[in-house]
Structure 1
Protein backbone atom coordinates (compact mmCIF):
# COMPACT_ATOMS: atom_id res chain seq x y z
CA UNK A 1 0.00 0.00 0.00
CA UNK A 2 1.01 3.63 -0.37
CA UNK A 3 -0.33 7.12 0.22
CA UNK A 4 0.08 10.16 -2.01
CA UNK A 5 -0.50 13.67 -0.68
CA UNK A 6 -0.80 16.56 -3.10
CA UNK A 7 -0.31 20.18 -2.11
CA UNK A 8 -1.10 22.46 -5.01
CA UNK A 9 -1.35 26.05 -6.09
CA UNK A 10 -4.60 27.25 -7.63
CA UNK A 11 -4.19 26.95 -11.39
CA UNK A 12 -1.38 24.39 -11.19
CA UNK A 13 -3.67 21.49 -12.23
CA UNK A 14 -2.95 19.71 -8.94
CA UNK A 15 -6.55 18.59 -8.51
CA UNK A 16 -6.58 17.13 -12.02
CA UNK A 17 -3.33 15.28 -11.31
CA UNK A 18 -4.66 13.83 -8.07
CA UNK A 19 -7.88 12.63 -9.68
CA UNK A 20 -6.09 11.04 -12.63
CA UNK A 21 -3.44 9.31 -10.51
CA UNK A 22 -6.11 7.91 -8.20
CA UNK A 23 -8.06 6.70 -11.23
CA UNK A 24 -5.03 5.01 -12.79
CA UNK A 25 -4.01 3.31 -9.55
CA UNK A 26 -7.52 2.40 -8.41
CA UNK A 27 -6.93 4.46 -5.25
CA UNK A 28 -9.44 6.45 -3.24
CA UNK A 29 -9.40 10.17 -4.04
CA UNK A 30 -9.73 12.22 -0.86
CA UNK A 31 -10.64 15.88 -1.21
CA UNK A 32 -12.13 18.55 1.05
CA UNK A 33 -15.68 17.29 0.49
CA UNK A 34 -14.85 13.74 1.55
CA UNK A 35 -12.99 14.89 4.66
CA UNK A 36 -15.95 17.10 5.58
CA UNK A 37 -18.24 14.10 5.23
CA UNK A 38 -16.10 12.19 7.74
CA UNK A 39 -16.11 15.19 10.07
CA UNK A 40 -19.89 15.43 9.86
CA UNK A 41 -20.38 11.74 10.63
CA UNK A 42 -17.83 11.42 13.41
CA UNK A 43 -16.55 14.53 15.00
CA UNK A 44 -18.56 17.68 15.44
CA UNK A 45 -19.80 16.57 18.84
CA UNK A 46 -16.26 17.18 20.09
CA UNK A 47 -16.38 20.78 18.87
CA UNK A 48 -19.80 21.30 20.46
CA UNK A 49 -18.52 20.03 23.80
CA UNK A 50 -15.58 22.44 23.65
CA UNK A 51 -17.82 25.33 22.66
CA UNK A 52 -20.34 24.66 25.41
CA UNK A 53 -17.68 24.48 28.12
CA UNK A 54 -17.54 27.16 30.79
CA UNK A 55 -14.31 28.66 29.44
CA UNK A 56 -14.06 32.33 28.46
CA UNK A 57 -14.31 33.45 24.83
CA UNK A 58 -10.60 33.45 23.94
CA UNK A 59 -9.76 30.30 25.88
CA UNK A 60 -12.77 28.64 24.25
CA UNK A 61 -11.56 29.84 20.83
CA UNK A 62 -8.13 28.32 21.50
CA UNK A 63 -9.80 25.13 22.71
CA UNK A 64 -11.95 24.91 19.59
CA UNK A 65 -8.96 25.51 17.33
CA UNK A 66 -6.89 22.93 19.18
CA UNK A 67 -9.74 20.42 19.02
CA UNK A 68 -10.26 21.05 15.32
CA UNK A 69 -6.57 20.62 14.49
CA UNK A 70 -6.36 17.45 16.55
CA UNK A 71 -9.44 15.98 14.96
CA UNK A 72 -8.46 16.88 11.40
CA UNK A 73 -5.10 15.21 12.04
CA UNK A 74 -6.86 12.07 13.28
CA UNK A 75 -9.04 11.94 10.16
CA UNK A 76 -6.07 12.36 7.81
CA UNK A 77 -4.09 9.73 9.70
CA UNK A 78 -7.03 7.32 9.62
CA UNK A 79 -7.44 7.80 5.87
CA UNK A 80 -3.73 7.15 5.38
CA UNK A 81 -3.86 4.07 7.60
CA UNK A 82 -6.72 2.71 5.48
CA UNK A 83 -4.25 2.79 2.59
CA UNK A 84 -4.26 3.34 -1.15
CA UNK A 85 -5.43 6.93 -0.99
CA UNK A 86 -4.58 10.17 -2.76
CA UNK A 87 -5.15 13.02 -0.31
CA UNK A 88 -5.62 16.50 -1.72
CA UNK A 89 -4.45 19.38 0.46
CA UNK A 90 -5.75 19.97 4.03
CA UNK A 91 -2.14 20.14 5.29
CA UNK A 92 -1.85 16.37 4.84
CA UNK A 93 1.83 16.63 3.91
CA UNK A 94 2.54 18.07 7.36
CA UNK A 95 0.38 15.55 9.20
CA UNK A 96 1.99 12.56 7.46
CA UNK A 97 5.54 13.89 7.30
CA UNK A 98 8.29 11.32 7.84
CA UNK A 99 6.25 8.20 7.06
CA UNK A 100 7.99 5.68 4.82
CA UNK A 101 4.92 4.73 2.77
CA UNK A 102 3.76 8.29 2.08
CA UNK A 103 4.84 10.40 -0.90
CA UNK A 104 4.38 14.13 -0.30
CA UNK A 105 4.17 16.08 -3.55
CA UNK A 106 3.80 19.77 -4.34
CA UNK A 107 2.36 20.95 -7.66
CA UNK A 108 3.21 24.48 -8.82
CA UNK A 109 3.19 26.61 -11.96
CA UNK A 110 4.26 30.12 -13.01
CA UNK A 111 1.86 32.82 -11.84
CA UNK A 112 0.84 34.06 -15.34
CA UNK A 113 0.02 30.50 -16.41
CA UNK A 114 -2.01 29.92 -13.27
CA UNK A 115 -3.97 33.10 -13.94
CA UNK A 116 -4.72 32.11 -17.54
CA UNK A 117 -5.83 28.64 -16.48
CA UNK A 118 -8.13 30.04 -13.80
CA UNK A 119 -9.65 32.45 -16.34
CA UNK A 120 -10.34 29.59 -18.74
CA UNK A 121 -11.65 27.17 -16.11
CA UNK A 122 -13.87 29.64 -14.26
CA UNK A 123 -15.00 31.78 -17.18
CA UNK A 124 -13.32 34.94 -15.87
CA UNK A 125 -12.87 37.56 -18.58
CA UNK A 126 -10.74 40.11 -16.71
CA UNK A 127 -7.17 39.11 -15.87
CA UNK A 128 -7.04 41.37 -12.81
CA UNK A 129 -9.95 39.49 -11.21
CA UNK A 130 -8.23 36.16 -11.78
CA UNK A 131 -4.97 37.54 -10.38
CA UNK A 132 -6.73 38.67 -7.21
CA UNK A 133 -8.42 35.28 -6.87
CA UNK A 134 -5.12 33.42 -7.23
CA UNK A 135 -3.33 35.67 -4.74
CA UNK A 136 -6.13 35.40 -2.19
CA UNK A 137 -6.14 31.63 -2.55
CA UNK A 138 -2.38 31.50 -1.99
CA UNK A 139 -2.73 33.64 1.11
CA UNK A 140 -5.52 31.48 2.54
CA UNK A 141 -3.55 28.28 2.07
CA UNK A 142 -0.40 29.83 3.52
CA UNK A 143 -2.24 31.04 6.61
CA UNK A 144 -3.97 27.69 7.09
CA UNK A 145 -0.79 25.62 7.00
CA UNK A 146 1.38 28.07 8.94
CA UNK A 147 -1.15 28.73 11.70
CA UNK A 148 -2.22 25.11 12.14
CA UNK A 149 1.05 23.27 11.56
CA UNK A 150 3.81 25.84 11.89
CA UNK A 151 5.34 25.05 8.50
CA UNK A 152 5.63 27.00 5.25
CA UNK A 153 3.22 25.99 2.51
CA UNK A 154 5.23 27.65 -0.27
CA UNK A 155 8.65 26.03 0.22
CA UNK A 156 10.02 22.73 -1.05
CA UNK A 157 11.61 21.58 2.20
CA UNK A 158 8.69 19.43 3.37
CA UNK A 159 8.04 17.69 0.05
CA UNK A 160 9.52 14.58 -1.52
CA UNK A 161 8.83 15.82 -5.04
CA UNK A 162 7.94 19.17 -6.60
CA UNK A 163 6.51 19.37 -10.13
CA UNK A 164 6.14 22.57 -12.16
CA UNK A 165 3.30 22.05 -14.64
CA UNK A 166 4.56 25.02 -16.60
CA UNK A 167 7.51 22.84 -17.62
CA UNK A 168 6.07 19.35 -17.25
CA UNK A 169 2.71 18.70 -18.90
CA UNK A 170 -0.04 17.59 -16.50
CA UNK A 171 -0.46 14.28 -18.31
CA UNK A 172 3.26 13.53 -18.10
CA UNK A 173 3.16 14.46 -14.42
CA UNK A 174 0.33 11.94 -13.96
CA UNK A 175 2.53 9.25 -15.48
CA UNK A 176 5.48 10.17 -13.25
CA UNK A 177 3.39 10.19 -10.09
CA UNK A 178 1.62 6.94 -10.95
CA UNK A 179 4.94 5.16 -11.38
CA UNK A 180 6.41 6.77 -8.26
CA UNK A 181 3.49 5.59 -6.11
CA UNK A 182 3.64 2.09 -7.59
CA UNK A 183 7.34 1.95 -6.75
CA UNK A 184 6.73 3.15 -3.21
CA UNK A 185 3.94 0.61 -2.67
CA UNK A 186 6.32 -2.24 -3.49
CA UNK A 187 8.93 -1.22 -0.92
CA UNK A 188 9.26 -2.84 2.47
CA UNK A 189 9.05 -0.29 5.27
CA UNK A 190 10.52 -2.55 7.93
CA UNK A 191 10.80 -0.81 11.29
CA UNK A 192 10.39 2.67 9.81
CA UNK A 193 7.42 4.79 10.85
CA UNK A 194 4.62 4.25 8.34
CA UNK A 195 0.97 5.04 7.75
CA UNK A 196 -0.04 1.41 8.06
CA UNK A 197 1.22 1.38 11.67
CA UNK A 198 -0.92 4.32 12.79
CA UNK A 199 -3.32 3.45 15.61
CA UNK A 200 -6.87 4.48 14.73
CA UNK A 201 -10.01 4.76 16.85
CA UNK A 202 -12.26 1.83 15.76
CA UNK A 203 -15.28 4.13 15.44
CA UNK A 204 -13.39 6.52 13.16
CA UNK A 205 -12.03 3.54 11.23
CA UNK A 206 -15.59 2.36 10.64
CA UNK A 207 -16.68 5.81 9.46
CA UNK A 208 -13.73 5.95 7.05
CA UNK A 209 -14.70 2.57 5.58
CA UNK A 210 -18.31 3.71 5.17
CA UNK A 211 -17.41 7.02 3.53
CA UNK A 212 -14.88 5.37 1.20
CA UNK A 213 -17.35 2.51 0.61
CA UNK A 214 -14.45 0.14 1.17
CA UNK A 215 -14.09 -2.34 4.03
CA UNK A 216 -10.73 -3.69 2.86
CA UNK A 217 -7.41 -2.57 4.33
CA UNK A 218 -4.75 -2.05 1.69
Structure 2
Protein backbone atom coordinates (compact mmCIF):
# COMPACT_ATOMS: atom_id res chain seq x y z
CA UNK A 1 0.00 0.00 0.00
CA UNK A 2 1.35 3.37 -1.00
CA UNK A 3 2.12 5.98 1.64
CA UNK A 4 2.84 9.62 0.78
CA UNK A 5 3.23 12.49 3.23
CA UNK A 6 2.86 16.05 1.98
CA UNK A 7 4.09 19.08 3.88
CA UNK A 8 2.66 22.13 2.15
CA UNK A 9 3.15 25.79 2.88
CA UNK A 10 0.03 27.89 2.48
CA UNK A 11 -0.61 28.86 -1.12
CA UNK A 12 1.03 25.81 -2.73
CA UNK A 13 -2.19 23.91 -3.56
CA UNK A 14 -1.59 21.05 -1.14
CA UNK A 15 -5.33 20.55 -0.68
CA UNK A 16 -5.66 20.07 -4.46
CA UNK A 17 -2.55 18.01 -5.08
CA UNK A 18 -3.03 15.65 -2.11
CA UNK A 19 -6.47 14.27 -3.11
CA UNK A 20 -5.41 13.98 -6.76
CA UNK A 21 -2.33 11.94 -5.81
CA UNK A 22 -4.45 9.72 -3.56
CA UNK A 23 -6.90 9.07 -6.39
CA UNK A 24 -4.09 8.18 -8.78
CA UNK A 25 -2.55 5.78 -6.27
CA UNK A 26 -5.85 4.25 -5.21
CA UNK A 27 -5.42 5.08 -1.51
CA UNK A 28 -7.36 7.38 0.86
CA UNK A 29 -6.58 11.05 1.22
CA UNK A 30 -6.13 11.41 4.98
CA UNK A 31 -6.74 14.90 6.29
CA UNK A 32 -10.07 15.79 7.91
CA UNK A 33 -10.58 12.23 9.13
CA UNK A 34 -7.64 12.55 11.53
CA UNK A 35 -9.18 14.92 14.13
CA UNK A 36 -12.41 12.88 13.99
CA UNK A 37 -10.50 9.68 14.79
CA UNK A 38 -8.55 11.41 17.56
CA UNK A 39 -11.77 12.76 19.09
CA UNK A 40 -13.28 9.27 19.07
CA UNK A 41 -10.20 7.74 20.72
CA UNK A 42 -10.09 10.36 23.47
CA UNK A 43 -13.85 10.58 23.93
CA UNK A 44 -13.84 14.34 23.40
CA UNK A 45 -15.67 16.62 20.99
CA UNK A 46 -14.52 17.19 17.42
CA UNK A 47 -14.15 20.89 18.27
CA UNK A 48 -11.68 20.05 21.02
CA UNK A 49 -9.69 17.78 18.72
CA UNK A 50 -9.60 20.51 16.08
CA UNK A 51 -8.29 22.95 18.68
CA UNK A 52 -5.21 20.71 18.95
CA UNK A 53 -4.80 20.04 15.22
CA UNK A 54 -2.06 21.72 13.22
CA UNK A 55 -4.20 22.21 10.10
CA UNK A 56 -7.36 23.57 11.74
CA UNK A 57 -8.11 27.26 11.33
CA UNK A 58 -7.97 27.80 15.10
CA UNK A 59 -5.73 24.86 15.93
CA UNK A 60 -2.88 24.42 18.37
CA UNK A 61 -0.29 25.81 15.97
CA UNK A 62 -1.91 29.23 16.25
CA UNK A 63 -1.50 29.16 20.01
CA UNK A 64 2.07 27.91 19.77
CA UNK A 65 3.02 30.60 17.25
CA UNK A 66 1.79 33.24 19.67
CA UNK A 67 3.27 31.60 22.77
CA UNK A 68 5.84 34.34 23.29
CA UNK A 69 2.91 36.67 24.00
CA UNK A 70 1.28 34.30 26.54
CA UNK A 71 2.93 34.47 29.98
CA UNK A 72 1.30 31.19 31.08
CA UNK A 73 3.05 29.21 28.35
CA UNK A 74 6.60 27.90 28.40
CA UNK A 75 7.34 27.83 24.71
CA UNK A 76 9.41 24.83 23.75
CA UNK A 77 8.84 23.17 27.11
CA UNK A 78 7.89 19.57 27.68
CA UNK A 79 4.43 20.31 29.03
CA UNK A 80 2.21 23.02 27.72
CA UNK A 81 -1.17 23.76 29.25
CA UNK A 82 -3.08 27.03 29.24
CA UNK A 83 -5.90 26.97 31.82
CA UNK A 84 -9.22 27.91 30.29
CA UNK A 85 -7.86 27.62 26.75
CA UNK A 86 -6.85 23.98 26.35
CA UNK A 87 -8.76 21.69 28.75
CA UNK A 88 -6.58 18.66 27.92
CA UNK A 89 -2.84 18.26 27.60
CA UNK A 90 -1.81 18.93 23.98
CA UNK A 91 0.64 16.02 24.10
CA UNK A 92 -2.27 13.58 24.44
CA UNK A 93 -3.76 14.83 21.19
CA UNK A 94 -0.42 14.83 19.39
CA UNK A 95 0.35 11.27 20.51
CA UNK A 96 -3.10 10.10 19.38
CA UNK A 97 -2.61 11.86 16.06
CA UNK A 98 0.69 10.03 15.59
CA UNK A 99 -1.00 6.72 16.36
CA UNK A 100 -3.78 7.39 13.85
CA UNK A 101 -1.20 8.26 11.19
CA UNK A 102 0.87 5.13 11.80
CA UNK A 103 -2.11 2.79 12.02
CA UNK A 104 -3.76 4.19 8.90
CA UNK A 105 -0.50 3.96 6.98
CA UNK A 106 -0.02 0.36 8.10
CA UNK A 107 -3.56 -0.84 7.40
CA UNK A 108 -4.73 1.18 4.39
CA UNK A 109 -1.91 3.35 3.15
CA UNK A 110 -2.80 6.88 2.14
CA UNK A 111 -1.74 10.39 1.27
CA UNK A 112 -1.25 12.34 4.50
CA UNK A 113 -1.34 16.14 4.49
CA UNK A 114 0.46 18.03 7.25
CA UNK A 115 0.76 17.03 10.92
CA UNK A 116 4.53 16.43 10.64
CA UNK A 117 3.83 13.31 8.58
CA UNK A 118 7.36 13.14 7.19
CA UNK A 119 8.70 12.89 10.74
CA UNK A 120 5.99 10.64 12.20
CA UNK A 121 6.17 8.20 9.27
CA UNK A 122 9.89 8.55 8.60
CA UNK A 123 10.41 4.88 9.38
CA UNK A 124 7.48 3.54 7.36
CA UNK A 125 8.82 1.25 4.59
CA UNK A 126 8.44 2.74 1.12
CA UNK A 127 6.84 5.99 2.28
CA UNK A 128 7.45 9.00 0.05
CA UNK A 129 7.86 12.37 1.75
CA UNK A 130 7.09 15.51 -0.24
CA UNK A 131 7.43 19.22 0.49
CA UNK A 132 5.46 21.81 -1.49
CA UNK A 133 6.98 25.26 -1.18
CA UNK A 134 7.62 28.42 -3.15
CA UNK A 135 8.80 31.99 -2.69
CA UNK A 136 6.38 34.11 -0.69
CA UNK A 137 5.60 36.48 -3.57
CA UNK A 138 4.39 33.68 -5.83
CA UNK A 139 2.38 32.08 -3.04
CA UNK A 140 0.71 35.42 -2.37
CA UNK A 141 -0.25 35.79 -6.03
CA UNK A 142 -1.57 32.23 -6.24
CA UNK A 143 -3.56 32.57 -3.01
CA UNK A 144 -5.02 35.92 -4.07
CA UNK A 145 -6.02 34.52 -7.47
CA UNK A 146 -7.52 31.23 -6.25
CA UNK A 147 -9.22 32.78 -3.23
CA UNK A 148 -10.36 36.00 -4.91
CA UNK A 149 -8.51 38.02 -2.24
CA UNK A 150 -6.46 41.16 -2.15
CA UNK A 151 -2.72 40.61 -1.98
CA UNK A 152 -2.48 42.13 1.52
CA UNK A 153 -5.07 39.69 2.88
CA UNK A 154 -3.43 36.79 1.05
CA UNK A 155 -0.06 37.67 2.56
CA UNK A 156 -1.56 37.81 6.06
CA UNK A 157 -3.16 34.37 5.62
CA UNK A 158 0.09 32.88 4.39
CA UNK A 159 2.25 34.36 7.13
CA UNK A 160 -0.21 33.32 9.87
CA UNK A 161 -0.45 29.76 8.56
CA UNK A 162 3.29 29.39 7.96
CA UNK A 163 4.05 30.59 11.47
CA UNK A 164 1.48 28.27 13.05
CA UNK A 165 2.48 25.12 11.19
CA UNK A 166 6.18 25.72 11.76
CA UNK A 167 5.56 26.29 15.48
CA UNK A 168 3.73 22.94 15.75
CA UNK A 169 6.63 21.00 14.20
CA UNK A 170 9.32 22.87 16.10
CA UNK A 171 7.57 22.55 19.45
CA UNK A 172 6.67 18.86 19.35
CA UNK A 173 9.43 17.47 17.14
CA UNK A 174 12.33 19.93 17.58
CA UNK A 175 12.60 20.05 13.80
CA UNK A 176 12.45 22.67 11.07
CA UNK A 177 9.72 21.85 8.52
CA UNK A 178 11.71 23.67 5.83
CA UNK A 179 14.64 21.24 6.20
CA UNK A 180 14.92 19.54 2.80
CA UNK A 181 16.59 16.51 4.42
CA UNK A 182 13.16 15.46 5.71
CA UNK A 183 11.83 14.95 2.19
CA UNK A 184 12.47 12.95 -0.97
CA UNK A 185 10.93 15.62 -3.19
CA UNK A 186 10.69 19.39 -2.82
CA UNK A 187 8.45 20.95 -5.48
CA UNK A 188 7.59 24.55 -6.32
CA UNK A 189 3.92 24.10 -7.17
CA UNK A 190 3.47 27.77 -8.05
CA UNK A 191 5.69 27.27 -11.11
CA UNK A 192 5.00 23.63 -11.91
CA UNK A 193 1.33 23.10 -12.83
CA UNK A 194 -0.78 21.04 -10.42
CA UNK A 195 -1.31 18.12 -12.87
CA UNK A 196 2.45 17.89 -13.37
CA UNK A 197 3.05 17.95 -9.60
CA UNK A 198 0.55 15.11 -9.24
CA UNK A 199 2.33 13.15 -11.96
CA UNK A 200 5.77 13.71 -10.40
CA UNK A 201 4.62 12.62 -6.94
CA UNK A 202 2.70 9.61 -8.24
CA UNK A 203 5.64 8.41 -10.31
CA UNK A 204 8.04 8.84 -7.39
CA UNK A 205 5.70 7.03 -4.99
CA UNK A 206 5.34 4.08 -7.35
CA UNK A 207 9.09 3.89 -7.87
CA UNK A 208 9.88 4.12 -4.17
CA UNK A 209 7.12 1.76 -3.10
Specify if TM > 0.5.
yes
Contact in 2 for aligned 1:7/1:107 (Cα 8 Å)? yes
Larger Rg: 1
Corresponding residue for 1:10? 10
User: 2:204 pairs with 169, 172, 180, which one?
Assistant: 180
Corresponding residue for 2:101? 76
User: 1:61 pairs with 65, 81, 92, which one?
Assistant: 81
Change over 3 Å in CA distance of 1:14–1:60 after alignment to 2: closer
- Structure 1 residue 36 corresponds to structure 2 residue 35: yes
Higher mean C-alpha displacement, 163-172 vs 14-23: 163-172
Q: Cα deviation per residue 1:20-56 (whole Å; 9 max; x = unaligned)?
A: 111112110001x2101111222246x9xxxxxxxxx
User: 2:157 pairs with 133, 145, 167, which one?
Assistant: 133
Whole-Å separation in 1 of the counterparts to 2:8 and 2:106: 22
Unaligned runs of 5+ in 2: 49-71, 74-78, 83-87
Whole-Å separation in 1 of the counterparts to 2:187 and 2:39: 33
SS in 2 for 1:166: coil
Aligned residue pairs, count = 173
SS in 2 for 1:81: helix
- Structure 1 residue 152 corresponds to structure 2 residue 172: no
Corresponding residue for 2:20? 20
Q: Cα deviation per residue 1:169-213 (whole Å; 9 max; x = unaligned)?
A: 22111111111112233xxxxxxxxxxxxxxxxxxxxxxxxxxxx
Aligned 1:88-107 pairs, distance under 5 A: 88-107=113-132
Unaligned runs of 5+ in 1: 48-56, 186-218
Contact in 2 for aligned 1:29/1:87 (Cα 8 Å)? yes
Contact in 1 for aligned 2:142/2:190 (Cα 8 Å)? no
TM-score calculated relative to the size of structure 1? 0.72
- Offset at residue 92 of structure 1 (A): 1.1
Contact in 2 for aligned 1:4/1:103 (Cα 8 Å)? yes
More helix by share: 1
- Offset at residue 69 of structure 1 (A): 2.0
Runs of 4+ residues over 3 Å off in structure 1: 57-60
- Offset at residue 167 of structure 1 (A): 3.5
TM-score calculated relative to the size of structure 2? 0.75
